[in-house]
Amino acid sequence: MRGVVSWFRRADNALLAFDEVRRGIHAQAQRDGGFREVPIDRIVGSVGRYRDFDRAFLPRQVQTRDRWESVDRAHLDHHELPPVDLYKIGETYFVKDGNHRVSVARERGQSFIDAHVIEVTAPAPVNSLEDLLDFIRDQDALAFYEKTRISELRPGARIELTLPGQYEKLLEHIATHQWYLGIEAKREIPYAEAVASWYDRIYLPTVEAVRATDALRDFPHRTEADLYLWVTEHHWYLHQAALPKGVALNALVSEYAEEHSERRSNPLTAIARIPIAPITAVRRRASPPKKKSS
């Protein structure tokens, strides 16, 4: 039934193949993540059995029935089962060993499963299955995170652009900032130091101004990083030196949003922006002039 529904919805119902995902997101380094409870709904793929189960870890192959039923019987008889082995990329997991145990646990409504975890380091922040797939599709974004190592330098940093070819511009901004830092400090600036300084002194203050002025309301389908890029290119001197926080930067962001708002293309929004004159004034203008009595 899940297969039929996914076909009609044109949705992918397959588990992800770990090796393909690891190559796609350029994940290399591994370390022991220890023993822990793992949310089952974050297990999205498998190392070797991704063809045997669907995205919900329900069996797809008839030949797995005996093994599945034996694990299910052990589950019903309250036999203690060994922990599964999982690879972890960001906040997503892939089964190295224990696919049937994951399948039975999920089918029985279990929310967590005991697991020994091996963490695989990815250059980009992966907080969900959607993130994982997005970064695999968007190799420009992945290359930006790889080159800058912004996730290591500033954990939690999230820089998303909606238009193709824009991450190269961010790299140009960092290179320009690195050059100006070198002049300012009269020394060669390491790239990692330049990235951190750019994020702290240029990018983050602009994003904070975007939030403070609620500028994204004028760009409903864009991101904070989009607006950063457009504002800094509109005011080129933001590339060269950090402006003080406060009114000056907020004013620049507000000015840009007012001049380039994407909401103006919506006729209803445009009408809403037209100032409405007081009713008495409208009536006054609408009334014909009175004739003088002869």
Give the global pTM: 0.73
- pLDDT beyond 80 at 173: yes
Of 66, 94, 129, the one marking the end of a domain is 129
Name the residue range of residue 229's domain.
138-263
123 and 8 part of one domain: yes
113 and 172 part of one domain: no
Of 75, 102, 129, the one marking the end of a domain is 129
CA–CA separation, 25 and 231 (whole Å): 30
- pLDDT beyond 70 at 76: no
pLDDT tens for each residue of 184-201:
999 999 999 999 999 999
154 and 203 part of one domain: yes
Taking the CA atoms of residue 90, residue 94, residue 97 and residue 100 in that order, the dihedral angle to the nearest 10 degrees is: 130
pLDDT tens for each residue of 108-118:
888 999 999 99
pLDDT the model gives residue 279: 35
- The number of distinct structural domains making up the chain is 2
32 and 110 part of one domain: yes
The stretches of 36-112 forming alpha helices (DSSP H) are: 65-76, 99-107
Q: Is residue 22 part of a domain?
A: yes
The arrangement of strands across the sheet holding 112-120 comes to 16-17, 43-46, 92-97, 84-89, 112-120, 30-39
